[in-house]
Amino acid sequence: MSHLIAPSVLAANFGQLDHAVEMLNQSTADWIHVDVMDGRFVPNISFGFPVLNAIQKTALKPLDVHLMIEHPELYIEQFRAAGADVISVHYEACPHLHRTLQQIKATGAKAGVAMNPHTPVSLLSDIIQDIDVVCLMSVNPGFGGQKFIQHTYQKIKELKALITAKEATCLIEIDGGVNQENAPLLLAAGADVLVAGSFVFQSANPPETILALKQIIL
């Protein structure tokens, strides 16, 4: 499978969110990454159901919803109803992760698990076969435009080895500080999905930037 590009609308102009989503529709983006923050799990608040619903009305591509919230299990069905195709919950926010993943799958969405930079991937050993997407955070979640954490390469390799050892099929997604320099290295290490926020939306030509990320050949 060729890798997937998931631009994050967190870096878009919220005053013209429709334009951003239409641009993504026309681009070579595969998914649209949507960052939900509650001001408790992370020290920032982004947006919730009404904004996701508005994005869904325009979007022609799967919505990859990254929940940076406490107690995500309370809102899974609502996020699905508002348009989420992939729902990622944080490992650190889910004491009953197995149950929460089953809950996500029961809605028909793909089930993702996001991990903070300090959380070892080995903790997924007994759950990896139940996950559709592992989202490795390559920055501390909460803000766009942060510096990429180099240790991520090592975590991708460890996660890839775990997936292979367990004969699991989940995708490896990288979120935070992705750009044209580190993207080829991330893909070479085993990444399947690259999230990119500020690198796409602050570039002079976002569709060309997305295309350049998509066209990386190893």
34 sits near ligand DX5 (criterion: CB under 6 A): no
Q: Which is nearer to ligand DX5, 83 or 197 (CB)?
A: 197
Q: Is 98 helix (H, G, I), strand (E, B) or coil?
A: helix
Is residue 85 among the annotated active site residues? no
91 vs 72: CA distance, rounded Å: 11
66 sits near Zn ion (criterion: CB under 5 A): yes
Applying CB under 6 A, what is the total number of residues that bind ligand DX5?
A: 22
Q: Is 170 helix (H, G, I), strand (E, B) or coil?
A: coil
Q: Which is nearer to ligand DX5, 17 or 168 (CB)?
A: 17
User: 100-135 burial string, b = 16+ CB within 10 Å, else e?
Assistant: bbebbeeeebbbbbbbbeebebeebeebbebbbbbb
Is residue 35 among the annotated active site residues? yes
111 vs 130: CA distance, rounded Å: 8
5 vs 214: CA distance, rounded Å: 6
Q: Which is nearer to ligand DX5, 112 or 190 (CB)?
A: 112
142 sits near ligand DX5 (criterion: CB under 6 A): yes
197 sits near ligand DX5 (criterion: CB under 6 A): yes
Phi, psi for residue 160 in degrees, rounded to 5: -60, -45
Applying CB under 5 A, what is the total number of residues that bind Zn ion?
A: 3
Residues found near ligand DX5 in the complex (CB under 6 A): 8, 10-11, 33, 35, 66, 139, 141-146, 175-178, 195-199
Residues that bind Zn ion (CB under 5 A): 35, 66, 175
- Residues acting as catalytic residues: 35, 175
